[in-house]
Amino acid sequence: MGINVMAVSKVSDDVDVIADEVKIFSKKYDYVLTTGGIGPTHDDKTYEGVAKAFDDDLHCHPQLAQFILKFYKTSDPNHPALKLACIPTTAKLTYGFDPVNKKKAVYPAVSVKNVFMFPGVPELCERLFNFTKDQLFIGDAKSHTRELYLSVNESLIVGQLNDAVTRYPNVSFGSYPKFFHSYYQVKITMESNLENYVEEALQYLKKSIPRESHVDYDANPFSDKLIKMNKLNFKVLTDTISHLETTLKQYDPSDVFIYFDGGKNSTVLLHIVSALYEKLFPNSRVSAVYVETNPKVNSYVEKSIVNYNVKLLRLSEKNFMNFAKCCSGICIVKGIRKSDLRASAISKSVEGLPIVNPLADWTYHDVWKTIRALYLPYCDLYDKGHTFICDSESFPNPNLRTIGPHLDTVYYKKAYELEDEALEYDKI
């Protein structure tokens, strides 16, 4: 974006402290971004602090209030969530653009002068920032950026990176190691106001670093989903998309529920259904049923809700069965592979329910081939040797156990590296 980060400050939940810091930063810098302190609880004081910084008062913004009451399905004028609608009187609302759903964002960024206030939850902060950055931060000079993702440790490319820094003084380089990422180990960024310089720097690094270390990583796998899936030309995937599209057309979008458990099958399924909803029902959100089977999966499920804008219904196993039996006209989309050793037991447990199973003909390797080719996020347990996770008794698979470079170090390969899918449910 061409904006340099000049200072970072961490402040307490104190109105006076927030106001003083905002006042100083607002005078000193072109843009001031705040994160956190926006919510319904007693310690959410960002709006109040920013208002005080500019000798302003708070008021209940009618547009925000209407949205919040609708979101929380209440008409209570004293509902605590309405604190989110109490913003400075001089605040500006900026509705960005949602590139995934290809429409105006439903919730705005709130700003006063050059101070822009974002939520503290990382996923929500990133989401709102990406929606509104083009409207909020408009600079005179256009910055050109490039990124290079690598599968090797940062220490192995220091020499090439230092050479590039020396060779291209008009380019700003950044190196960001990732110790526990599913797809790469280091990201190198290049930024310059001169596009030819930054492109030359990228090509120089690509030539300097062995090709086998490059990762063609997609940092935004949630955009253009159908286009990307069709480009893969995986027969099992294209057949599933076609059959599922025909099925979905037979239902009202509000009557379709994905059985989402955070596992690899439901990860693929959610991505496919989300893509088809964008095509068939662009004004509808995907609905999912979540039956918790492994608490360690919860954080991934929460991220998926944000990434796919899912309406999630949390149920116990018993309540799920009652829900599926009692709600007439619904369709539950669940991924059960026939090649799965537990397929017979799973199918029997849902016998008689309105289940559609688009992944019946998929194999273990089909699932992982698709996930990895699309660079989809998945539960990190799979990167720790677990080959199935929707079970509270899930453990790393002994067939993935290996010895590290130091003979006394034992670790587990990633789930997609399992060669024989018949060993998927092996335990230590």
Residue that has been written with the tokens 């990895």 in this structure: 372
**CA atoms in the 13 A half-sphere facing the CB of 31:** 14
Fold of 144-215: Alpha-Beta Plaits (3.30.70)
Q: Is the pTM of this model over 0.75?
A: no
Domain(s) of CATH 3.40.50.620: residues in the chain: 225-423
Mean pLDDT of 297-317: 92
3-state secondary structure of 186: strand
Give per-residue burial for 253-277: e unless 16+ CB within 10 Å, then b. Answer: beebbbbbbbbbbbbbbbbbbbbbb
Residue-level pLDDT at 138 = 66
Confidence of residue 139 (pLDDT cuts 50, 70, 90): low
Residues in the chain: 428
Residue-level pLDDT at 162 = 93
Confidence of residue 33 (pLDDT cuts 50, 70, 90): very high
Confidence of residue 353 (pLDDT cuts 50, 70, 90): confident
| pLDDT reading at 311 higher than 60 | yes
The residue among 297 and 341 whose pLDDT is bigger is 297
Residue-level pLDDT at 294 = 82
Task: Give CATH for domain 225-423.
Answer: 3.40.50.620
**Could you tell me what percent of the chain has a pLDDT over 90?**
67
β-sheet bridge partners, residue 78: none
- Token representation of residue 256: 């379709």
Confidence of residue 183 (pLDDT cuts 50, 70, 90): very high
298 contact partners, CB below 8 Å, separation of at least 6: 262, 292
| pLDDT reading at 256 higher than 90 | yes
Report DSSP state, residue 77: T
Residue-level pLDDT at 190 = 94
Residue-level pLDDT at 247 = 95
132 contact partners, CB below 8 Å, separation of at least 6: 94, 95, 96, 105, 108, 109
Domain(s) of CATH 3.30.70.2860: residues in the chain: 144-215
Whether the CB-CB separation of 271 and 243 falls below 8 Å is answered with no
Residue of 313, 169, 320, 331 whose CA lies nearest to 249: 331
**Could you tell me what percent of the chain has a pLDDT over 70?**
97
Confidence of residue 328 (pLDDT cuts 50, 70, 90): confident
60 φ/ψ angles, rounded to the nearest 5 degrees? -85, 110
Cα distances (Å, whole numbers) of residue 428 to 279, 381, 386, 394, 404: 44, 15, 11, 10, 18
The residue among 62 and 116 whose pLDDT is bigger is 116
Report DSSP state, residue 177: E
Domain(s) of CATH 3.40.980.10: residues in the chain: 15-136
Mean pLDDT of the chain: 90
Confidence of residue 253 (pLDDT cuts 50, 70, 90): very high
Confidence of residue 405 (pLDDT cuts 50, 70, 90): low
- What does the pLDDT look like over 199-248, one tens digit per residue? 999 999 999 999 999 999 999 999 999 999 999 999 999 999 999 999 99
| pLDDT reading at 99 higher than 70 | yes
Residue-level pLDDT at 390 = 76
| pLDDT reading at 3 higher than 80 | no
| pLDDT reading at 140 higher than 60 | no
Report DSSP state, residue 327: S
Q: For 15-136, give the CATH class.
A: alpha beta
Q: Which of 26-40, 159-173, 277-291, 405-419 is least confident?
A: 405-419
